[in-house]
């Protein structure tokens, strides 16, 4: 993965970066002409990803880019969240929904992101870190 | 956040309006995690100090409600309920409601109303 | 305070012990303003989450309680009461009690007990 | 007033300085052989003074010194709190007890300090700042 391939790189380190990344994603999706509903879904997904980085890995990055869809297809937005945090022991469980290791949380972040986006890919290794890659295609009108 | 800001809770996170026995909380700022937590504290303080019987949170200006914001809002409502105070949320944007439902998030303990008037009507009936 | 610390309220300010329906809160740290505010939040959360019917705050290790600490403790007790939960304070040092009384400060809404056993007895009778 | 005449100078700027000044005053009073009850009163008074500085003036100083009592008399502790904050409009009212301009406060700080200490002196000018000087004599055993 090459950071230069992305349109936006967001460092997540402070709690306030969660809200910032949410707004950046919203603006970017708006500029890509996503529908209001999809803009909201994308911004919400980024908010969840950023919070997980802040909460579980203390710091990490979120990369956002526009992916052209080729001659006929509409473009897509790709979001990549990565950190060198503790990793997830049981990924299946973590993305199943309702599972959380936080005391005050719903455990619906990862499961929610998966439902909001068109594609969802996660790789995590205990002690190494976590990478989540999601995509949402713009609807053809 | 400046350290002084959160310090003595002197400054409210959100200016509120007392309406009969109800407290209207119009959210016109970005709900970052810290803000939503301080808002929770503010609401609980105001229930206690002003003997509020109902809270109306107007989220019509809020364009993203994610899982943690939902959690804290529900938790606040649960605590408010335990203090004898109902929480109604109004003006939730359709796309925000859609996103929450797609994520499988329910705003536990919170009553949902379309408008401010609806919220007041619901609270009036609950008394 | 580190920003991360106060952030998600994940970390408790004070470790607590569940005892029957009661929550024992032994204060073994310096009560600076921020700590006492976060403690208030923690107590309210725990009442809500663990369905606690009584809180026992052990202040035997606390050597200074000033007007703001008193205010927040009383306020917490008032809010807890509104949530159906009594707050008993135990182990208050005699010189601290003397100082408070000389200042004209009353711990409103808080029940005072000599010892932990007394606190439990009082709560048992209140049920 | 000369800062060099004092044993301890505490800058009050952050909220955490309130607890620090309280502990410093406690230690100093203990070293001066005050009774446990008086140590507690002195520490509590300093806590109130420091909070008022932090709250109303944003920043200021607390000075503490030992004052020798002469051949026969026991020594005293002097505490001076000063700030260049907004000042107090009605000093009489502010020290009468129960009056407060804070939303979450008892208004028993200044009145309390006065009762806890042997002498209490306050000067305040709106727009200029506030100075509070208090003393407590060690009891002769
Ligand atoms: N970046 C990450 N690093 C380590 N663990 C993570 C990460 N993201 C998620 N997790 C783990 O997966 C669980 C579920 O995450 P999620 O569905 O977002 O819900 P929540 O954050 O509300 O618990 C978390 O409780 C945590 O244990
Ligand atoms: N250093 C100060 N600068 C300006 N105003 C002050 C200062 N100290 C006290 N005051 C004013 O005097 C009032 C009473 O103070 P105090 O008795 O300590 O009680 P409290 O701080 O609980 O209000 C305060 O509410 C404030 O308006």
Find the CATH number of the domain harbouring A117: 3.30.565.10
Residue B7, pLDDT > 80, answer: no
Alpha carbon nearest to ligand 2 atom 5, residue: D88
Ligand 2 neighbours (beta carbon < 6 A): C 67; D 48, 52-53, 56-57, 83, 85-88, 94, 99-102, 105-111, 130
Among the listed residues D26, D28, D23, the one whose alpha carbon sits nearest the alpha carbon of residue D8: D28
> Contact D40/C98, CB-based, under 8 Å?
yes
The one-digit pLDDT tens for each residue of chain A (141 residues) are 788 899 999 999 999 999 999 999 999 999 999 999 999 999 999 999 999 999 999 999 999 999 998 777 889 999 999 999 999 999 999 999 999 999 899 999 999 999 999 999 999 999 999 999 999 999 876
Q: Would you say C88 and C122 are in contact if contact means Cβ atoms under 8 Å apart?
A: yes
CB of A100 closer than 6 angstroms to any ligand 1 atom: yes
> Contact A104/C3, CB-based, under 8 Å?
no
Residues 6+ apart with CB under 8 A from D53: D12, D59, D60, D61, D62, D81, D83, D85
> Contact B1/A16, CB-based, under 8 Å?
yes
- How much is the pLDDT for D71? 76
Which domains, and CATH codes, for chain C? 13-87 (3.30.750.24)
- Count the domains in chain D: 1
Residues 6+ apart with CB under 8 A from B118: B90
Q: Which of C3, C4, C8 sits opposite A104 (nearest CB)?
A: C8
Q: Which of A18, A40, A105 sits opposite B95 (nearest CB)?
A: A40
Separation in Å, CA of C51 to nearest CA in chain A: 15
Q: Would you say B116 and B19 are in contact if contact means Cβ atoms under 8 Å apart?
A: no
Q: Would you say C82 and B83 are in contact if contact means Cβ atoms under 8 Å apart?
A: yes
The one-digit pLDDT tens for each residue of chain C (127 residues) are 333 333 344 568 999 999 989 999 999 999 999 999 999 999 999 999 998 999 999 999 999 999 999 999 999 999 999 999 999 999 999 999 999 999 999 999 999 999 999 999 999 999 7
- How much is the pLDDT for A141? 62
Residue B123, pLDDT > 90, answer: yes
- How much is the pLDDT for C127? 75
Strand partners, A136: A77
Cα distances from B109 to residues A108, B52, B72, B85, D62, in angstroms, run 17, 17, 11, 11, 49
Q: Helices marked H in chain A — which ranges?
A: 16-31, 36-52, 91-96, 109-116
Range of the domain at D72: 3-137
Separation in Å, CA of D103 to nearest CA in chain B: 6
- How much is the pLDDT for B12? 86
- How much is the pLDDT for C61? 95
Pocket test for ligand 1, best of A51, A110, A127 (most atoms within 8 A of CB): A110
Q: Which of B9, B33, B34 sits opposite C37 (nearest CB)?
A: B9
Residue B68: closest C-alpha in chain A? A105
Work out the average pLDDT over D1-23.
94
How many helices, marked H, and strands, marked E, lie in chain D?
4, 5
pLDDT interval class at D139 (50, 70, 90):
confident
Among the listed residues C80, A54, A42, A95, the one whose alpha carbon sits nearest the alpha carbon of residue B68: A54
Alpha carbon nearest to ligand 2 atom 4, residue: D87
**Residue-wise DSSP of C82-95:** HTT-EEEEE---HH
CB of A88 closer than 6 angstroms to any ligand 1 atom: yes
CB of A105 closer than 6 angstroms to any ligand 1 atom: yes
């Amino acid at each position: 993965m090459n950071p230069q391939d992305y349109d936006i790189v967001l460092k997540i380190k402070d709690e306030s970066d969660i809200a910032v990344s949410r707004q950046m994603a919203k603006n970017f999706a708006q500029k890509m002409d996503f529908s209001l509903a999809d803009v909201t879904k994308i911004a919400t997904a980024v908010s969840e990803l950023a919070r997980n980085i802040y909460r579980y890995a203390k710091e990490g990055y979120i990369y956002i880019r526009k992916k052209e869809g080729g001659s006929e297809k509409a473009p897509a937005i790709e979001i990549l969240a990565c950190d060198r945090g503790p990793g997830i022991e049981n990924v299946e469980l973590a993305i199943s929904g309702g599972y959380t290791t936080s005391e005050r949380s719903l455990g619906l972040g990862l499961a929610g992101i998966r439902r909001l986006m068109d594609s969802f890919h996660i790789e995590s290794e205990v002690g190494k870190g976590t990478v989540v890659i999601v995509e949402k295609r713009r609807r053809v009108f | 956040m400046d350290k002084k800001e959160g310090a003595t809770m002197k400054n409210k996170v959100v200016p509120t309006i007392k309406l009969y026995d109800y407290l209207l909380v119009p959210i016109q700022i970005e709900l970052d995690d810290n803000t939503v937590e301080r808002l929770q504290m503010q609401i609980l303080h105001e229930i206690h100090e002003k003997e509020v019987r109902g809270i109306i949170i107007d989220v019509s200006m809020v364009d993203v409600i994610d899982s943690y914001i939902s959690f804290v809002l529900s938790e606040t409502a649960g605590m408010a309920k335990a203090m004898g105070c109902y929480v109604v949320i109004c003006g939730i944007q359709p796309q925000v409601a859609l996103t929450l439902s797609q994520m499988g998030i329910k705003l536990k303990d919170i009553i949902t109303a379309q408008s401010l008037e609806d919220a007041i009507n619901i609270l009036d009936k609950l008394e």
